[in-house]
Amino acid sequence: MSRPPIIQPDRAYSFSDYFKLNFTPHDILAHFDATLQRQPLDLPRTSEPLDRLADLKARIEESLPRLSLTSEIARREFLIAPVLTDVLHYTTARLDVEYPLTVNAQLKGSLDYLLQSHDVFLVIEAKNEDLERGFVQLAIELIALDRWLESENTATTLYGAISTGNIWQFGQLERRSRTVTQDLNLYRVPADVEDVLRILVGILR
């Protein structure tokens, strides 16, 4: 007797629906002919001076003790957005917020943040909690972006990050092998905000 399908072929799915599925990440990605691996990633990092780093860290450290982080909106506006604003300062990247993306009925929704610099794309998904489920959603968004770009973009790797605002985790999709890699490293803000910033800028430069 065959197992019922992970993804119902007659049902529409938004990106956020994959956050709610109780199947294993490996099985969900396998439905889209992708594999998942978990290992430390050797991500690009800029070595250039970050002239606004001290100010960014100070602002986050000042606001955190008095900031309620019970909602995703608060985390996005007060922890994630300031970091991304500084990324724009250091790069020529373009930032789209709530970017709508539709490939088909099972791959559609809005990307919280989409950064593009030349042929490099970086998706950032904001979540209030549960990084593991959040990473599954991020992986699906990278798969959708890969199909949406098709042959128009020559980049071999698409990058992503899942963030609760005070915790960041990176990932990437190797387009040729259809392998999604979940970084084993976690970066905490404000303690590791320099690492986060150097990685984001390094990817987009």
pLDDT value at residue 71:
82
CA–CA distance, 124 with 170 (Å, rounded to integer): 9
Confirm whether 8 is domain-assigned.
no
Q: What is the DSSP string of 84-113?
A: HHHHHHHS--EEEEEEEEEEETTEEEEEEE
Nearest to 182 by CA among 34, 76, 15: 34
CA–CA distance, 28 with 40 (Å, rounded to integer): 22
Confirm whether 108 is domain-assigned.
yes
Confirm whether 54 is domain-assigned.
no
pLDDT value at residue 3:
63
Q: Which two tokens stand for residue 21?
A: 């599925």
Confirm whether 48 is domain-assigned.
no
Confirm whether 149 is domain-assigned.
yes
Confirm whether 144 is domain-assigned.
yes
Range of the domain at 173: 15-40+60-204
Q: Which two tokens stand for residue 190?
A: 């404000």
Matching residue, tokens 């990278």: 142
Confirm whether 193 is domain-assigned.
yes
Q: Which two tokens stand for residue 145?
A: 């972006």
pLDDT value at residue 150:
83
CA–CA distance, 17 with 143 (Å, rounded to integer): 15
Confirm whether 5 is domain-assigned.
no
CATH of the domain at 123: 3.90.1570
CA–CA distance, 7 with 21 (Å, rounded to integer): 10
CA triple 106-107-110, angle to 5 deg: 130
Domains identified in the chain, total number: 1
Are 44 and 117 in contact by the 8 Å Cβ rule? The answer is no
Over the chain (205 residues), the average pLDDT of each successive run of 10 is 75 95 93 96 97 96 86 88 97 97 96 95 90 95 95 87 95 97 97 98 96
State the burial class of residue 7 (Cβ atoms within 10 Å of its Cβ: 0-12, 13-18, 19+).
middle
